Amino acid sequence: MANSSDHDINEVPGMVEKYGAAAAAKKIKAMLEEKKNTPLNIGITGESGSGKSTFVNAFRGIDNRDDLAAPTGVVETTMEPKSYDNPKWPNVKVWDLPGVGTTKFPAAKYLQHVKFKRYDFFIIISADRFKENDVKLALEIQRMEKKFYFVRSKIDDNMRAEKRSQKDFQAEKTLAAIRNNCIEGLSNEGIRSPQVFLVDSFDLHLYDFDLLNETLQRELPAHKGDVLLLAMTTSNLLVIEKKKAVLQSQINKVAWASALAGAVPVLSMVFDLNLLVDTANEYKVTFGLDGKSLKNLAQSAGVPLGDLRSVLESRLALEELSPNLIADMLKWSIPQKVGDELLRYIPIVGTIIAATKSFHATEKALNDFLDMLAEDAERVFKRALNRHV
């Protein structure tokens, strides 16, 4: 389901004529902010030692050793719900919830204790078979008709143990057996169509992490699915493609807002350069090309940071973003003839005619910026997983 305000973007010329350029620009910026600030709350629960906090960190795209990481260890460290913002998208909150077995509350009271209604969905973590407390909690969530998913963490430990004990070990066959065993056990306890995902929180590109993210994205309302996708850590090249598509769908809004509120002439056109800086920075952060994200990736992948930086090609990725840099990039992106053609509109630059010209120029520039950064993101991802290139 599309955002309810999306249809307004096709009415921009009429909005300008009715309300004026400044008011139209303000309305479009509000649409952009609405999307960016859509809240998403994810509840993660599981018994002590299940790898719950490590999964919370992995889901947020940060290392356990990071200062912003949820504390990990074999002793249960979570007795009250604790929220952890996604470092890039603070509207996306991952909640580390106490395991049902570590509280004095039965499942129904437990959900009241952790404020059940605030979560968009729950993920129930176990390092082995799902226990009685996991089932009780899932049954209560099911009764209250909210989405929940089961994750078998530490699956790499299970695979190593199976490999040592099986004469004719086959990875896919073993994974299917573990998954089916979990599904059968949960179904027998009354869980309807349980969804079980096998995950290694230290190597997200392995096993079912991608499938988990695809499922969450698909089963959320569309606008919240987009928010999850943009906040998602890059675990395969398809994630980069999907992120690019979501960002591309917003370009016409940004281009109109820039053209209508523009105050800085570049090639005889006007642009809101600060808005374009913010947009390019959003692209950079979403693709994990900002300094903090590159450092986290280098640490988790065991690759020197310099190796990741060495594959970056665009100025947008290599340099600090600023109005001057964006102005230079616009000059490179916009054909000179477009700027020359607009010269005759400068006396009435606030009119819809001139704004439309600026809109098309900005739209092209933003598509160019997005292409460059997506390509850099692909190169970085491949370098981080060099053994797969």
Q: Mind listing the pLDDT tens digit for each residue in 350-378?
A: 455 566 777 888 888 899 999 999 999 99
Per-residue pLDDT band at 1 (split at 50, 70, 90): very low
42, β-bridge pairs: 94, 121
Token pair of 40 as six digits = 């998403």
Domains and CATH numbers, the chain: 6-36+241-388 (no CATH), 40-233 (3.40.50.300)
Asked if residues 97 and 43 have their Cβ atoms less than 8 Å apart, the reply is yes
Q: Please check the confidence at residue 38 and state whether its pLDDT lies above 80.
A: yes
Strand order in the sheet with 40-46: 82-85, 92-96, 40-46, 121-126, 148-152, 196-198
Long-range CB contacts for residues 73-80, cutoff 8 Å, separation at least 24: 74/48, 74/49, 75/48, 76/48, 76/49, 76/102, 77/53, 78/52, 78/53, 78/102, 79/103
pLDDT tens digit string along 110-167? 888 889 999 999 999 998 888 888 898 999 999 999 999 999 988 888 888 878 888 7
Per-residue pLDDT band at 198 (split at 50, 70, 90): very high
DSSP state of 22: H
pLDDT tens digit string along 240-293? 999 999 999 989 888 888 877 755 454 445 567 888 899 999 999 999 999 988
With b meaning 16 or more CB within 10 Å and e meaning fewer, what string describes 225-249?
A: bbbbbbbbbbbbeebbebbbeebee
What local confidence, expressed as pLDDT, does residue 273 receive?
A: 80
Task: Say which residues have a Cβ less than 8 Å from residue 279's Cβ, sequence separation at least 6.
Answer: 254, 366, 369
